Amino acid sequence: MIEFATHPSRYRHWRFSVDGRVATLALDVQEDGGLESGYALKLNSYDLSVDIELYDAVQRLRFEHPGVGAVMLTSAKERVFCAGANIGMLGQSSHGAKVNFCKFTNETRNAIEDASAFSGQRYLCVINGACAGGGYELALATDHIMLVDDGSSAVSLPEVPLLAVLPGTGGLTRLVDKRHVRRDQADFFCTTTEGVRGRRALDWRLVDELVPRSRLADAARARAAEFAEQCDRSTEAVGVVLTPLAKTLDEDTLTYDCLSVALDRSRGLARIEVRAPATPPPQDLPAIHAAGVDFWPLALARALDDAVLHLRFNEPELGTWVFCTSGSADHVRLADAALLAHQPDWLVREITLYLKRSFKRLDVSSRSLVALIEPGSCFTGTLLELALAADRSFMLEGDFEGSNLGPAEIGLNEMNLGALPMVNGLSRLESRFFGDGAALDAARARVGAALDAEEAEALGLVTFTPDDLDWDDEVRVALEERAGFSPDALSGMEANLRFVGPETVESKIFSRLSAWQNWIFQRPNAVGEEGALKLFGTGNQASFDRKRV
């Protein structure tokens, strides 16, 4: 089983340090510290274990070190920055493992860019030696790339000529969309194995700054200090420690304080129940800060994030995730009100951003998402995002016979109007009604109202509203039908339908790049017995099927 919880005291691959307003993450990969046996992580090459630590470090910098304004990414090894994803690991991994690895690594790079854009923590990459493949893709996620000018150190994306695959973590998209590298120059860069160094790398916008080796350390510190001065967060702010998640895992259940997952392997589904706060959440800032990780919105973000990752990596055959909620809708509304009232506060801002990232991780998961809205549910505000993210939702009309809970209701609030955007830059409400301004306006006009099944269906906020007599059969048939379809076809269909409208760098990476990389990772030219990924390092040349169709 793959576990995503870690701590700097347990890091094997990163050196984590903070000096005032500047933090340093130095890559020092332990060769025998890979997640699996059978390969050595030489030249600071990485596997999932390296990225799990990086993801943890980025999260801790945002929550535990609010005074940090700049983060330096560099290498602790002499004359090598990072050789990218480990080829031996990729060569022996299953297709599903490779795809999950690339997706998680993408999300970690996106989290770095999110910290730069919204948290005031800007990232500087100091390349002190050879930087290839995923190593350069890591650099591309930062705000500023500093390359040592020593006549030999180069940046490169050699996946196409060497491995017959693509850069897997956004490199192609970031070259042309983020760094505005000219297309013909990017074409040359991505088809040469030796990469580009020195003045050409600078002129082609592959890096932002060249520095002689003798001045590299001083120049990096000066640039980091300059970035740190631009941070809007107070140096007096006291961080919130991300203590270990309270989590219980047994054969068929996964339980957190505010969320539980029931694993139904015979039906190929996971039932995820999110619980509202048991008591009214605090409304004033001192109480929110005092609550720390126990403040319900932060607890929810952490639990949902961990549960999605657990299901992705450890339960790949559970192809349908069914979302339910329970508890007081009033308490959910109070939690949302606290977030909305205190957005200028650094911690409240970070919690909202974490919720955004956790819901995005849900959106881009290759699973069918279904929401069941029943009496006793609390799909309102932040939790309504679960239903809006679903591919299909069912809301009971009326109540169940013998129940005293009353009819199900849902509710929109300001959290649904843009605070938690998808990777396409739109809210889930805007995505739902893309191209239908009248429907979007009608839904917005009902913000703050408790909506029963009839009105929710009329507004287009739910898919079906069966009554008590039809509920069990309609839900059962829908879930059984889903389980009978091709998982590959469902993944392609869902990804096409979920992300309407404009493209962003992030949506391109997840929809366009991930789709093609997924396909290429299955092709014999890459992974066949005579494919480039299989023969890399053997001295034998790959044998390609030359047809392009």
> Mean of the pLDDT values across residues 54-76?
97
Residue 518 confidence class, pLDDT cut points 50, 70, 90: confident
* 125, 70 contact by CB (below 8 A): no
Q: Which domains does the chain have, with CATH numbers?
A: 12-216 (3.90.226.10), 247-497 (3.90.226.10)
- Prediction pTM value: 0.96
Region at 16 (left for phi over 0; alpha for psi -120 to 50; beta for the rest) = beta
Q: Confidence band (pLDDT; 50, 70, 90) for 253?
A: very high
Checking if the pLDDT of 404 tops 90, the result is no
pLDDT for residue 28 is more than 90: yes
Q: What is the 3-state secondary structure (H, E, C) of 270-320?
A: EEEEEECCCCCCCCCHHHHHHHHHHCHHHHHHHHHHHHHHHHHHHCCCCCE
For all residues of the chain together, what is the average pLDDT? Answer: 95
pLDDT of residue 269 exceeding 90: yes
- Residue 57 is predicted with a pLDDT of 98
Helix (H) / strand (E) element for 22: namely strand 22-27
Instruction: Read off the pLDDT of residues 284-319 as tens digits, 9 standing for 90 and up.
Output: 999 999 999 999 999 999 999 999 999 999 999 999
The pLDDT of residue 348 is 98
Model pLDDT, residue 548? 86
Share of the chain above pLDDT 90, in %: 91
215, 154 Cβ separation under 8 angstroms: no
Q: Is the pLDDT of residue 109 over 80?
A: yes
The answer, yes or no, to whether residue 235 has pLDDT greater than 90, is no
What per-residue confidence (pLDDT) applies to 472? 96
Residue 170 Ramachandran class (φ > 0 left, ψ -120 to 50 alpha, else beta): left
- Is the pLDDT assigned to residue 320 strictly greater than 80? yes
Q: Tell me the pLDDT tens digit for each residue of 487-499.
A: 989 988 998 899 9
Ramachandran angles phi, psi of 149, nearest 5°: -100, 85
pLDDT-based confidence at residue 401 (cuts at 50, 70, 90): confident
Q: Parallel, antiparallel, or unpaired: how do β-strands 247-249 and 253-256 relate?
A: antiparallel
DSSP state of 239: P
The yes-or-no verdict on residue 512 having pLDDT over 80 is no
On the CB side of 68, CA atoms within 13 Å amount to 27
pLDDT-based confidence at 352, cuts 50/70/90? very high
